[in-house]
Structure 1
Amino acid sequence: MPLSLAYATDFPSFADTVFILPAGTTELPISAAADLPEAARQYVAAQLAAGEKLFGINQYSHRHYYVVAEPKKTADLSAEALRKAGHQLHARLKSDKVPELFVHDLTGTGALPLAEGIALTAYQFEGYKTDEKSKKAPDLQLLTLVSAELTAEQVQELDNVLHGVYLARDLVNMPYSHLNATQLAQRFEEVGDAAGFHVEVLDLVRIEALRMGGLLAVNQGSPEPPTFTIMEYKPEGATNARPIVLVGKGVVFDTGGLSLKPTPNSMDLMKCDMAGSAVVVGVLSALAKNRVPLHVIGLVPATDNRPGGPALAPGDVITMYSGLTVEVMNTDAEGRLILADALAFAKKYDPELVLDYATLTGSAVRAIGVEGIVCMGTAEEETLSALKRAGHATHERLVEFPLWDEYADHIKSAIADISNLGKAEAGAISAGKFLERFTEGYPWVHFDIAGPAFLTAPDSYRGKGGTGAAVRLTYEFLKNRV
């Protein structure tokens, strides 16, 4: 079972407790030392004098841990330091086999970010092991936050957001053998039932009737049918008259098609190519559970990309849902083809804003690494600024790339309206420029999450494998629009 958060107004005696102390603390306040013998108080004072930021005391019946908040340039960076402290603390909690931890905040602002760091570090993918010894559940199951500045509602809100991240991570970590396009849509239906939003799944026949040429073309080489899932959260009292639409790339496995990817070091990671769709359902789950009064629609075109049978071939020309024709110069540039159909489909909702998420280009990773998310779009500066603020608040930071008119030359075709492949330079931008052609009539922002969505080495509380990147960012942005 994943770790959960709870709220309390006080913590019991003899409970495993972490105290978050203000920066510069040299002497323990009585609330953090009430049950400490004199020798233990002297030890804590010595640790504080030595500048230690994380230490603990084993009192045999229970343990005390101490985290000293670090002053940073901004409040956002201070919160991030506490998330990372939570990651470090988790290693001690795991070693000590602590089942429940009380988080007693003496700073006024530290409980939520520290708990976030602990909880995100505590995530583990259950996987498919059958050996009972290797299936052992983690000891830590519950974090109880104690702070006069918090409410039970705030703690529950964070818990629901974190479970949205867990959901996204689980989906990204699942292999294609257990998550084809049909199974992905079924998971969406299960999440919708549990969280409280409507899910409609379009099958191959309905996708063909809609003439979604991009999705159908990518699916041509697969023995499995595609799906197109529409998820709608429309609460009573929604503050937006027109919906916000989230679009997620759902390529459940990407071989590159006939433009085959190299392996190893590339294709073996391609179960993560549906991370954009995981963002969409993770955000919708958090919004619905927290009853955020916004009308939000999620669209996920899903398929695998295979080189079998009548697979799409380089040089083919296809007609998209929008009516535009595309010369397919590389079948490994498939994500933009299925996204383009969904972006054109989004117009029918007359949206006030459309956001799309995709592990789209290696170019984005080469440009900024795994430390941030590339974004670009046509939304007004106020929206982009709000997104960047949300990115700093959650430390899922955004780097905005330009969409200058000149980049349209990168995707010109001699025989079709556009090509699906740009030049060697500015690959993330030419992919964005391609998508822009299908977003007429509404403001739009594209997020290329290829870097942070799946990590091959552990990185603090983001862990290894699927990270759920952009779930917390998007929830923070949407919540602030209410």
Structure 2
Amino acid sequence: MELKRQNEYRGNNLVYILKEATELASLPLSEKEKKYAQKRLKDKSELISINRMDGWIFLVAPKQDKGDDVFYEQCRKKGNEIATVTSGEKLEELGISGTGVQAVIAVAEGVALSSYRFLDHFTDKKGKDSSLKNLFLVSEKLTDADVTELANLVKSVYKTRDLVNEPLSHMNAERLAASFQEIGKEAGIKVEVLHKQKIESLKMGGLLAVNKGSIDPPTFTIMEWKPENPVNEKPIVLVGKGVVYDTGGLSLKPTPNSMDYMKSDMAGGAAVGGAIYAAALNRLPLHIIALVPATDNRPDGNAYVPGDVITMYSGKTVEVLNTDAEGRLLLADALTYAKKFDPGLVIDAATLTGAAAVALGQYGVAGMGTAKPEVFQKLQKAGYEVYERVVEFPFWDEYGELLKSDIADLKNLGPREAGMITAGKFLENFVGYPWIHLDIAGAAFLMQPDSYRGKGATGTGVRLLYRFLKSMVD
């Protein structure tokens, strides 16, 4: 699908976003159509569909009583409803118009994200892909740069969803690293992949311990976007968990079907890769680095076991009480590695705990860390703007006390209570800079469709991080 800007749309399938009912008078509608639309608007309808036989008219009229963020999210959701019609009717093009530029962009974003399909493993793809080939954003106030920015962001979300949706049979740690190299080559991102021998020489004990049960070697991918004259003196470092499949290791996941979608346990790694991809495609003048440690976590005769003590890349020792608390071990090594860049800010993203999904479901991202309140507030503002909302959880010192070990510097698991927070407190032991931890476990992969987020991989984190990064420029 191509996104294009036009000053005037002459096609047969038009979306018009209404802010006032009086705008109906200026639209190219028949008197009968206008009366029908007026009646539907009086009935509080937020999407009015008119089938003209040779084309479609969609009138979008979301409520405006809950602020801009909710209004634009409703625009995205109406875009999803429109995409359902365009798919069913096999429409190949659609124009989107309205008096508000941001509303036009939001509806287009909803249509575009709803048109994603993951079809790589179907032998017969006929009729399964989205029929839309051209999406026209119609406004004299829009620039080509606005449309290109949206197209690149959608492309980055698509790529992230593809990475997460791929099964382990097609996406082990080495293939994930190769995928990052591919997007790096396209977008001008410098990519370095550390392979097992280098990881061993660096003594990344967390990553190596988790990898012990695997037949595939681990990787550690370093992506760097450094444009000329970046506005930040110190880089922003993004760190993502890259567990390409998680059985739980010898602490095998116990519940029925709990492993069915554990291919998605690298969604944090995919998200930071997608975010730096979007930043590079749109040439954000920021120095950004993304780190993704990757492996699968499986039981084997050589796998690490509960009770083991491992020495991390930082030199700290960790008593392993549960091999299914593995993501924090990878992240800890990567967070330590981030120190070499003297970062101004580090943000990690991970499907780290089931506790995050229990607390927030699929509707939010859990956040915590050591960054200044104003930085966290800026991230939360970005979250509301793209509706990947971040909830800040307490990060009191008492939670860290729960990780004390009798035989090592700390243990990798606290009690059942506050599991999401103690996971974050574990990571805090490996940072020495402003830092935010994002647990995206509930939102990264969905069992049932949720509007434009779809079913399966959602790409959560890409739009959030991109909007936040852009705000650091603005």
Give the AA of the match of 2:25: P
Q: Which of 453, 467, 472 lines up with 1:476 in the alignment? A: 467
Runs of 4+ in 1 over 6 A off after TM superposition: none
Q: 1:73 aligns with which of 66, 88, 104?
A: 66
Deviations 1:167-218 (A, max 9, x none): 1111110000000000000000001011110110011000000000000000
| Alignment check: 8 A CA contact 1:248 1:301 kept | yes
Alignment check: 8 A CA contact 1:255 1:267 kept: yes
Equivalence map 1:351-370=2 (5 Å): 351-370=343-362
Call closer, same or farther: CA 1:58–1:402 in 2, change over 3 Å. same
> RMSD over aligned Cα, in angstroms?
1.4
Shift of 1:87: 1.1
Q: Choose from 332, 353, 363 the match for 2:324.
A: 332
Matches within 5 A, 1:121-132: 121-132=114-125
- SS of structure 2 residue aligned to 1:29: helix
Query: Any idea what SS the aligned residue of 1:457 has?
Result: coil
**Percentage of identical aligned residues:** 54
Q: Partner of 1:304: helix, strand, or coil?
A: strand
Q: 1:59 corresponds to which residue?
A: 52
| 1:288-303 pair list within 5 angstroms | 288-303=280-295
Contact 2:272 2:461 in 1 (8 A): no
2:12 corresponds to 1:15: yes
Q: Deviations over 1:428-447 (max 9, x none)?
A: 0110000000002x100000
Indicate the SS of the match to 1:242.
Answer: coil
Q: How far does the alpha carbon of each residue in 1:399-455 deviate from its partner, in whole angstroms, 9 at most, with x for none?
A: 111111111111110000000000111000110000000002x10000000000001
The 5-angstrom pairing of residues 112-127 of structure 1 reads 112-127=105-120
Note the alpha carbon deviations across 1:46-87, whole angstroms, 9 max, x for none: 333443321222333332221113213211111111111111
* 3-state SS of 1:109 partner: helix
Partner of 1:463: 454
Q: What is the alpha-carbon distance in structure 2 between the residues aligned to residue 367 and residue 45 of structure 1?
A: 42
The CA deviation at 1:255 is 0.6
Deviations 1:79-112 (A, max 9, x none): 1111111111111212221111010113443101
Tell me if 1:260 matches 2:252.
yes
For 1:17, give the aligned amino acid. L
Contact preservation (8 Å) 1:329, 1:421: yes
Q: For residue 80 of structure 2, what is the aligned residue in structure 1?
A: 87
**Equivalent residue runs for 1:125-274 within 5 Å:** 125-133=118-126, 136-262=128-254, 264-274=256-266
Distance 2:315 2:125 in 1: 54
In terms of mean alpha carbon deviation, does 114-123 or 314-323 score higher? 114-123
In 2, Cα distance between the equivalents of 1:339 and 1:49?
54
Which residue number corresponds to residue 437 of structure 1?
Answer: 429
Cα distance in 2 for partners of 1:243, 1:437 equals 21
In structure 2, how many angstroms separate the alpha carbons of the residues matched to 1:246 and 1:4? 29
> TM-score, structure 1 length as denominator?
0.96
**What are the ranges of 5 or more consecutive residues in structure 2 without an aligned counterpart?**
none
Q: Which sits farther off after the overlay, 121-130 or 43-52? A: 43-52
Secondary structure class of the residue paired with 1:267 = coil
Unaligned runs of 5+ in 1: none
> Match of 1:454?
445
Does 401-410 or 204-213 show the bigger shift?
401-410
Distance 1:465 1:61 in 2: 34
Kindly indicate whether the alpha-carbon contact (under 8 Å) linking 1:108 and 1:148 is maintained by their aligned counterparts in 2: no
Cα distance in 2, alignment partners of residues 368 and 47 from structure 1 = 35
Contact 2:207 2:329 in 1 (8 A): yes
Give SS of 1:79's match. Answer: helix
Q: How far 1:27 moved relative to its partner?
A: 5.6
Q: Indicate the SS of the match to 2:449.
A: strand
Kept after mapping to 2: 8 A contact 1:109/1:149: no
Contact 1:19 1:105 in 2 (8 A): yes
Matching residue within 354, 378, 387 for 2:370: 378
TM-score (norm 2): 0.97
Q: CA deviation at 1:283?
A: 0.5
Aligned counterparts of 1:284 and 1:107: Cα–Cα separation in 2: 29
